[in-house]
Amino acid sequence: MLKLVIGNKNYSSWSMRAWVLMRQSDIDFEEVMLRFDGFSPDSQFKTRIVEVSPAGQVPVLIDEELAVWDTLAIAEYLAEKFPERKLWPSPIAARARARSVCAEMHGGFSALRSACPMNIEARLPEVGALAMRDKTAVRADLNRIVTMWSELLGQSKGPMLFGQFGIADAYYAPVVMRLFTYQLPVPADVRAYMDRVTNLEAVGAWMQDALAEQDFRDFEEPYRLSR
């Protein structure tokens, strides 16, 4: 059976992508959680993760003796291993567009990520309001996301970005979490998409586990002294 090594569900946006993709697509796997205790070379997390991945980061997909790290590599591997799941859209143009928006998420939106780190358990509207007021780059990132999602939903007619659930939706699920946590302003069509994402079985299960963790990691929470 496949194994997926992940970090804390409340904080690890990269882990969420791969986990939600596999769970929602009915791909069987064993979850292996390495909870964050720090990211220094001598931390327990780093000591354990380097045993399975030279990159020293989660998530890591393990298929027998093969380790695949990086969420985009994991997504491509799963798409090739399980073609019947149709994780990418079938039309070549839509497939190229889906890869493009995933790559954009993979390497972009740094301002939003920095100002609004994923924290499913928290509700931080005041932090979101300050970020929107003071950080031009955060406003630009949000505008790009809203424009992208609106265009894709308009073209596909929903319910997901490319019609049926796929890699792109898993990739942007952590953004949905951020938008809710920091209550960033979005139009009605985007909010409806966000609601559909949170109603996915896999996303609901991830959120439930995140809320049950009861872990507070101060290095992941720049805006709170405690839960």
State the Cα–Cα distance between residues 110 and 92, nearest whole angstrom.
29
CATH of the domain at 141: 1.20.1050.10
CATH of the domain at 53: 3.40.30.10
Domain coverage including residue 157: 92-209
Same domain, 113 and 193: yes
How many separate domains does the chain show?
Answer: 2
* 157 CB neighbour count, 10 Å cutoff: 7
Mean pLDDT score across all residues of the chain: 95
pLDDT tens-place string over residues 8-63: 999 999 999 999 999 999 999 999 999 988 888 889 888 999 899 888 899 999 99
DSSP secondary structure string for all residues of the chain: -EEEEE--TTT-HHHHHHHHHHHHTT--EEEEE---S--STTSHHHHHHTTT-TT--S-EEEETTEEEESHHHHHHHHHHH-GGG--S-SSHHHHHHHHHHHHHHHH--HHHHHHS---TT---HHHHHHHHHH-HHHHHHHHHHHHHHHHHHHHH-SSBTTBS--HHHHHHHHHHHHHHHHT----HHHHHHHHHHHTSHHHHHHHHHHHHH----GGG-TT-S--
The answer to whether position 175 is within a domain reads yes
The answer to whether position 24 is within a domain reads yes
State the Cα–Cα distance between residues 142 and 111, nearest whole angstrom.
10
pLDDT-based confidence at residue 84 (cuts at 50, 70, 90): very high
> Which residue in this structure is represented by tokens 């791969």?
18
**Nearest of 7, 25, 67 to residue 201 by alpha carbon:** 25
pLDDT-based confidence at residue 225 (cuts at 50, 70, 90): low
Tell me what pLDDT residue 223 has: 81
pLDDT at 226 over 80: no
Q: Between helices 136-156 and 167-182, what is the axis angle to 10°?
A: 130
Same domain, 104 and 166: yes
The answer to whether position 20 is within a domain reads yes
Same domain, 126 and 174: yes
CA gyration radius for the chain? 17
> What average pLDDT score do residues 141-159 get?
98
Last residue of a domain, one of 38, 60, 85: 85
Same domain, 120 and 198: yes
> Which residue in this structure is represented by tokens 């031009």?
136
Residues 6 or more apart in contact with residue 162 via CB below 8 angstroms: 89, 94, 97, 98, 152, 156, 168, 169
More confident residue, 52 or 188: 188
Last residue of a domain, one of 85, 102, 120: 85
Handedness of CA 20, 151, 179, 113 (dihedral sign): positive
Same domain, 28 and 68: yes
The answer to whether position 58 is within a domain reads yes
